Amino acid sequence: MNPIINLSDLLTLRQKQNLILIDARSGPNAKENYEKEHLAGALWVDLENELSEKTGDAAQGGRHPLPTVQNFAKLLGRLGITPKSHIIVYDDKNGANPAARFWWMLRAIGHQKIQVIDGGYQAAINAGFPTSVVNESSNPTSDYPAGSWLLPIADIDEVAQVAQAEDAVVIDVRESGRYLGQFEPIDLIAGHIPGAINIPFSTNLNEDGTFRSSAELKAKYTEALANIDSDKIIVHCGSGVTACHTLLAMAQGGIEIPKLYVGSWSEWSRNDRPIATDSK
């Protein structure tokens, strides 16, 4: 199953049994926006309080640390998600934020039938997917059977080692201005992890906000990674959310999903670690 679903297939699958649609839009008015309008049948998930489990100190795990697997399993149960469910998720940022994070989290507990809508919320509406103002109800079930995160995760010390290794690579997916230390709109310090390369997540997309073709994504990352083993590749962003967009793009291109550094720049920049502002 492709991790990204096109709009034609989305409309065809709308009435499928065991299909669960998830609205993962984020931001200060996300719940209000959901209540004003959402794709018909979609259940809302909260990036800040359900897809993250904050410690109160971004220096310990970053701005969006993962919840425990047990708490995530409880959330999935409340949403009515079982191992048989086919889940489709969207946000309003071309899958760049919580939609890709939700996709990664499902894949990380072994769930395969999870897809992100290509082009996101507005593209689905433009394609004729009906909307609703009804506060949708789930059909809760037992906790999802999951015991651990199965996809690879890197911690801050491993990132420090890999960034300086010749046979490994750390990929920073933030926009180039943040990477180069020209500005920093969210975290305390601008710049990047020394040794990390910059491949902005926006380069995964066409001008209309849809993902580039599988062949293009495969060629792009095959060239960038230069035959480096996936266990020596670490991807990060500002807080471990947008990095999942690049992991999603890699999966769409048929490339094995590498390690995610969940703490990302929000953790690194708060721990007296070295900071670079040059091109690498």
Distance CA 234, CA 261 (A): 6
β-strands 131-132, 38-39 pairing: antiparallel
Contact residues for 6 (Cβ-Cβ < 8 A; gap 6+): 118
DSSP 172-205: E-S-HHHHTTS--SSSSS--B-TT-EE--GGGGB
Other Cβ atoms within 10 Å of 207 Cβ, number: 5
Q: Is 237 a catalytic residue?
A: yes
Catalytic residue among 4, 237, 250, 251: 237
Whether 120 and 93 have beta carbons less than 8 Å apart is answered as: yes
Distance CA 52, CA 101 (A): 10
Q: How many residues does the chain have?
A: 280
Residues carrying an active site annotation: 237
